[in-house]
């Protein structure tokens, strides 16, 4: 099963997206956007930047667990991962984004 982007509105009315792997696991989430079109642009940015290793910021969360941010060419964060149990698990998450993002379908849950 292929990966997919889910576009949705949060409780505050902001538009967000998440990228799910083929197994249904969430591998990347966005910030909140005021405009739906901005969230859609964020999805396109993930499709473009996702395959590029140099766009990933590998770091530890405030609780000390491995995680990553996917950044656009301008350095802006376009997606954030969950926290992982180890650096190798984080790297597997990055590989999953690289594999799934370019061809992931879009499920619009806002309409």
Q: Domain limits of the chain?
A: 4-108
Using CA atoms, how far residue 7 sits from 56, 74, 92, in Å, is: 22, 23, 24
Q: How wide is the angle at C-alpha 55 spanned by C-alphas 73 and 93, nearest 5°?
A: 145
44-99 per-position pLDDT tens digit: 999 999 999 999 999 999 999 999 999 999 999 999 999 999 999 999 999 999 99
Structurally, at CATH architecture level, domain 4-108 sits in: Roll (2.30)
Q: Which two tokens stand for residue 109?
A: 């849950």
Kindly report whether the global pTM for this prediction surpasses the value 0.85.
Answer: yes
């Amino acid at each position: 099963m292929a990966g997919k982007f889910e576009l949705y509105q949060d409780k505050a009315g902001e538009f967000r997206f998440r990228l799910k792997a083929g197994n249904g696991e969430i591998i990347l989430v966005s910030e909140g956007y005021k405009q739906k079109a901005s969230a859609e642009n964020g999805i396109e940015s993930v499709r473009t930047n996702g395959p590029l290793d140099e766009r990933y910021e590998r770091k530890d969360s405030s609780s000390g667990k491995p995680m990553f941010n996917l950044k656009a060419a301008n350095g802006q964060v376009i997606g954030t991962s969950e926290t992982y149990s180890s650096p190798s698990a984080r790297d597997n998450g990055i590989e999953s984004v690289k594999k799934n993002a370019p061809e992931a379908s879009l499920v619009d849950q806002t309409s």
